[in-house]
Amino acid sequence: MRLSAAARRFGAVYRTLAVIVLNTLLLLLLVEGAAALVLAGREIPREEQVQAFKDKMLRLEYYYGQDWSKAYWDEHMQAVDHWAYRPYRLWQTRPFNGQFINVDELGRRATPGSDCAAQDRRVFAFGGSTMWGYGVPDWGTIPAYLQAGLDDACVVSYGEMGFNSTQSLIRLIERLQAGDVPDVVIFYDGSNDVTAAHRSSRPGAHFSEEAVAPAVENALNAGGAGVSPLRALVTNTAIYRLLAGAAQAGPDWALPPFAPGFVDGVADTYLNNLRAASALAREYGFAFYAFLQPVLPLAGEPANAEQQMFLWDMPGGLPELFRAVYPRWMAAAESLPYLYNLSDVLDGQPYPVWIDFNHLTPWGNLAVADAMLKVIRPAMSG
């Protein structure tokens, strides 16, 4: 049976379209493969990045002489940067049990010697990674040294990686909401309030806003259903990642000269958080102490070669923002009864105390804890 002219024309058009579609798909596959190769050439494998970081830390003066250093940093990279979502304060370190690092189901770093079941008085310690104990084993954290100096009380570490004073305040409120009222509360903050604000050019910012904000907005704008499957498919292609890479959201670094309102906002956010914590202390009947942590750009002595490397590694403008904000807090410490300035506590230390511009070796944490104990111990024994 002979086909009609219309059927023959349809067949010809169909074959032409099929060839075009097939060629287009083949071209897209070729472009996708080329884009994947370009991205692979740009990206340093995660394993290489981790090893380079560990090698860098092990070359530092303090770690070079410790027989536990390599094992610690191997464990550190397994425990750190693994987060669980928590309402309001956003993240919490996942539980971990190791030789040097131990974190319970509430995200609390272990404090050797702390036994709240055997002691009536409890001390809650809040802060960021410096209170958590970044770079040191459980025995070398500030809470561990506080516990060693307070044998008539138990110290509980509520420090969390990346937390600023706002998140410390929220975590304190959570404990009070749960009816968990301590005898003493310690805040050890300052660095993350400045650093996160510098990263986003916004006072009161938290870390990782450039990742958290799009995730929330995508979910809410999709009616709570999350990102559509089609969009997820497109955004996961190498072509999309290659073309959109330069335009993806990233840090919006604040650079000098800083607007006075920006500096005021960073300083006031921290001080207002301390006022709120002090008000909670009066309402709930616990003692409150806030300690302004030391940072290398505010050190009162010349930097040695290793410390100068730490300063050079800081993002542009961050040292200047520390020097703009910290004097405001140091002046406030002269009039606020609960705020103590520890910005100079490491000056003149004979041992290596810095591992970057704000994290400390166990020697540095010991010096900080000793300064805290000089304030806390007389009040607790009175």
d(CA 105, CA 266): 32
In a domain, 10, yes or no: no
- Orientation angle between helical segments 165-177 and 260-284, nearest 10 degrees: 20
For the chain, the 3-state helix, strand and coil shares in percent, each to the nearest 5, are: 55, 10, 35
In a domain, 65, yes or no: no
| pLDDT value, residue 283 | 98
- Per residue in 114-169, pLDDT (tens digit) is 999 888 899 999 999 999 999 999 999 999 999 999 989 999 999 999 999 999 99
Domain of 336 in residue numbering reads as: 80-202+253-381
**Number of domains the chain is built from:** 1
SS3 378: helix
Kindly tell me if the per-residue pLDDT of 13 is higher than 60. yes
Kindly tell me if the per-residue pLDDT of 71 is higher than 80. yes
d(CA 28, CA 45): 26
In a domain, 8, yes or no: no
The CATH number linked to 97 is: 3.40.50.1110
Residues 6+ apart with CB under 8 A from 34: none
Q: With beta carbons less than 8 A apart as the criterion, state whether 107 and 98 touch.
A: no
Q: Is the pTM of this model over 0.75?
A: yes
- Per residue in 353-377, pLDDT (tens digit) is 999 999 999 999 999 999 999 999 9
Kindly tell me if the per-residue pLDDT of 303 is higher than 60. yes
- Per residue in 82-123, pLDDT (tens digit) is 889 999 998 999 999 999 999 999 999 999 999 998 888 999
In a domain, 246, yes or no: no
| pLDDT value, residue 31 | 56
In a domain, 271, yes or no: yes
Sequential DSSP letters for 89-152: TEEEEPPEE-SS-EE-TTSPBP-TT--TTT-S-EEEEEESHHHHTTTS-GGGSHHHHHHHH-TT
- Per residue in 34-67, pLDDT (tens digit) is 555 554 555 667 788 889 999 999 999 999 989 9
